[in-house]
């Protein structure tokens, strides 16, 4: 097996999962065959996102048989983004590959993606499932719509943003934060973080062999909302005053001009001896008043946002239930880990400082 640079592993393969006990042994065996055939040094990081079946027991058995298998278990279901984000900061591979646990992603694609990162200098390679075995009405058509919108907003011309099979240069996953349901738009997050060389590879998509899909119709609405959120955060997340302050100033200025017009109009009428109606009887007065109030509130929102941005230093906190293959020293000190078991971390709390 090849030695990584400075004892760094060649590959970290991150696999988030929820109730996939049937597919895990077959997937692990398939990955190992590919790794050994290409003489890669590697680790497989399973992230059990609150499974209620025997997935964790299966992973424990896999770890006993193969020390390269590591795992993290969440106490409850936090979602795919939380699973990826937590695993990303634990990876030791020169290249980090993410894939789904349902056997729909083929490990045979990993060597080509690895070489695109290492030899061709890409920061991120996203899989493109050109031929899909999903339901065309509930998955394929909405996915095409999402991908079109993501391309227009981000300027990244990928065919399949949401493909679970991706490869990253290690510094990419250690530089980004994935939260909410933003795993769909990791290429956009990477771009906003300064990683511009993003490529695509056509990958094989396989029909689901075990279980059922974990994603319902609600993901379509959430997907568009997340896309707007990621665009806003990318453009104004570090400078909220540029958005709220500018918008608030513009609205306040409109209200101020309206109020000035009302005041000058009444002064001119009084100068000419023309009876002037009460300012409060003029509908424009209320438009001016509301505009100035809203403008002030938006400006203050931007100011408060700036204060929060400049002073925020913490990250999301997830409660882990158990870990495999990591020592206390390897866990990040920038999160609060709250395991419930005495055998894990001896109930120590790591708080951000």
Interval 124-156: pLDDT, tens: 999 998 876 655 555 566 677 778 878 887 888
Q: Determine the pLDDT at residue 28.
A: 96
Residue 43 and residue 62: Cα distance in Å, rounded? Answer: 12
**In 3D, which of 108, 115, 113 has the Cα closest to residue 205?**
108
Interval 234-251: pLDDT, tens: 677 667 788 888 889 999
Assigned fold of 5-236: Spore Coat Polysaccharide Biosynthesis Protein SpsA; Chain A (3.90.550)
Give the model's confidence band at 307: pLDDT under 50 very low, under 70 low, under 90 confident, else very high.
confident
Farthest-apart Cα atoms in the chain, separation: 98
Residue spans of alpha helices (H) in 155-217: 170-173, 186-192
Q: Kindly list the distances between the CA atom of residue 128 and the CA atoms of 125, 164, 188, 208, 338, in Å, as whole numbers in the listed order.
A: 10, 10, 16, 17, 38
Q: Are 12 and 91 in contact (CB under 8 A)?
A: yes
Q: Which residue has the higher pLDDT, 326 or 203?
A: 203
Q: Are 97 and 110 in contact (CB under 8 A)?
A: yes
The residues pairing with 74 across neighbouring beta strands, listed in sequence order, are: 320
pTM: 0.70
Which whole number is the average pLDDT over 189-206?
Answer: 88
Interval 64-105: pLDDT, tens: 999 999 999 999 999 899 999 999 989 999 999 999 998 989
List the domain boundaries for the chain.
Answer: 5-236, 241-311
When mean pLDDT is compared across 122-131, 177-186, 206-215, 240-249, the lowest value belongs to: 206-215
pLDDT at position 337 over 60: no
Measured over the CA atoms of residue 93, residue 94, residue 100 and residue 102, the dihedral's sign is negative
């Amino acid at each position: 097996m090849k030695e990584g640079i400075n004892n760094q592993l060649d590959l970290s393969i991150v696999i988030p999962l929820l109730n996939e006990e049937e597919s895990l042994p077959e997937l692990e065996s398939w990955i190992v065959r590919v790794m050994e055939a290409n003489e890669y040094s590697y680790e497989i990081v399973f992230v059990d996102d609150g499974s209620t079946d025997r997935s964790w027991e299966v992973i424990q058995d896999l770890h006993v048989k193969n020390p390269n298998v590591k795992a993290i278990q969440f106490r409850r279901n936090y979602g795919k983004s939380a699973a990826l984000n937590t695993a990303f900061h634990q990876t030791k591979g020169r290249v980090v590959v993410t894939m789904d646990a349902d056997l729909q992603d083929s490990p045979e694609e990993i060597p080509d993606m690895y070489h695109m990162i290492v030899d061709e200098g890409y920061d991120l390679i996203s899989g493109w499932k050109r031929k899909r075995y999903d339901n065309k009405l509930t998955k394929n058509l909405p996915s095409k719509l999402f991908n079109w919108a993501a391309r227009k907003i981000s300027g990244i011309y990928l065919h399949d943003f949401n493909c679970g099979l991706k490869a990253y240069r290690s510094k990419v996953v250690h530089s980004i934060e994935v939260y909410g349901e933003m795993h769909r738009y990791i290429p956009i997050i990477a771009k906003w973080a300064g990683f511009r060389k993003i490529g695509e590879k056509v990958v094989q998509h396989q029909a689901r062999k075990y279980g059922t899909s974990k994603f319902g119709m609600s993901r379509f609405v959430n997907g568009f909302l997340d896309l707007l959120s990621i665009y806003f955060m990318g453009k104004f997340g570090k400078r909220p005053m540029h958005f709220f302050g500018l918008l608030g100033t513009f609205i306040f200025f409109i209200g101020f001009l309206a109020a000035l017009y009302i005041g000058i109009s009444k002064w001119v009428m009084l100068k000419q001896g023309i009876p002037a109606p009460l300012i409060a009887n003029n509908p424009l007065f209320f438009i001016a008043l509301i505009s100035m109030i809203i403008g002030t509130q938006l400006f203050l929102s931007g100011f408060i946002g700036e204060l929060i941005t400049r002073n925020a230093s913490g990250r999301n906190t997830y409660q882990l239930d158990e870990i495999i293959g990591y020592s206390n020293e390897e866990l990040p000190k920038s999160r609060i880990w709250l395991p419930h078991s005495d055998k894990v971390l001896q109930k120590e709390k790591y708080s951000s400082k």
